[in-house]
Amino acid sequence: MRDTQTMILKQIKDEQFKLQKEIRSWLGPLILFSLIMIAFPLSIDLMNIGLAELFLNIIIITILVTNYLSIDDVFFEDFYDGTIEQSLIKDSNLYVYVACKLMITVLMKILPLTLISIVFAIAYKVNVSFLPDLCLLFINMQIIFVNMLFFGNAISINKGSTLGLILVMPIIFPAVILFGQALTFLRLEIPIFSIHFMATGISIIACILLTFVTAITLKLHLE
């Protein structure tokens, strides 16, 4: 038990260290997101649409695209250089490997992106009372997106991440619809506690189930 704990902690530390060193992998998407959010107001007629309205209209898809780009090659390098193979031989399954990758992605990609989104929400003059709801929505939304994108990446690992995105986008759309509805309710100042509960539940289930499914899919590719 202690050995397993040490092993898991080592794996988390290793993943965190690798991601920290691969600066373009975590910083690139944040910069890209920022550029998109800066560019958007320049492309529209601000007299006819308010900044806050624009933010709520574009934020979900911008975050989705940023998530896709930020985990575009999450398993690719590890698959081709044999790291995943080594993990499988060491642990006889890939659950720990995928779970550690997910945890580090949440800490080093999702949370910073959420923070920057909130900064832009303020810059776009979104009602300050919305910010806590937005923060929670963005975290849940990204956890669901990232889990699906991990699965998409895993399923098409040797065919490129675009195929994976095409395969899982239909499954991501309902989440997009749900969070779009949440933002509509927010705009209309309708409480969204039930959506928060549902989204939190879905993200927990997604983390558990999709980690399992992604691990099985990666193992299948190694066979």
Residues near another protein (CB under 8 A) are 10, 14, 17-18, 21-22, 77-78, 80-83, 85-86, 88-90, 92, 151, 155-156, 159, 163, 166-167, 169-171, 173-174, 177, 181, 210, 213, 216-217, 220-223
Q: How far apart are CA 140 and CA 200, in angstroms?
A: 6
Q: Closer CB to another protein, residue 145 or residue 151? A: 151
In the complex, least distance from residue 148 CB atom to another protein, rounded to whole angstroms? 9
In the complex, least distance from residue 123 CB atom to another protein, rounded to whole angstroms? 29
In the complex, least distance from residue 60 CB atom to another protein, rounded to whole angstroms? 15
Residue 9 corresponds to which amino acid? L
Q: Closer CB to another protein, residue 121 or residue 218? A: 218
Q: Closer CB to another protein, residue 161 or residue 217? A: 217
How far apart, in Å, are the Cα atoms of 151 and each of 48, 113, 141, 162, 174? 40, 21, 16, 12, 16
Q: How far apart are CA 37 and CA 35, in angstroms?
A: 5
In the complex, least distance from residue 143 CB atom to another protein, rounded to whole angstroms? 15
Rounded to the nearest angstrom, the gap between the alpha carbon of residue 73 and the centroid of all alpha carbons in its chain is 13
Q: Closer CB to another protein, residue 65 or residue 163? A: 163
Q: Closer CB to another protein, residue 81 or residue 189? A: 81
In the complex, least distance from residue 113 CB atom to another protein, rounded to whole angstroms? 22
Q: How far apart are CA 220 and CA 150, in angstroms?
A: 15
- What b-and-e string marks burial along 101-133, b requiring 16 or more CB atoms within 10 Å of the CB? bbbbbbebbbeebbebbbebbeebebeeebeeb
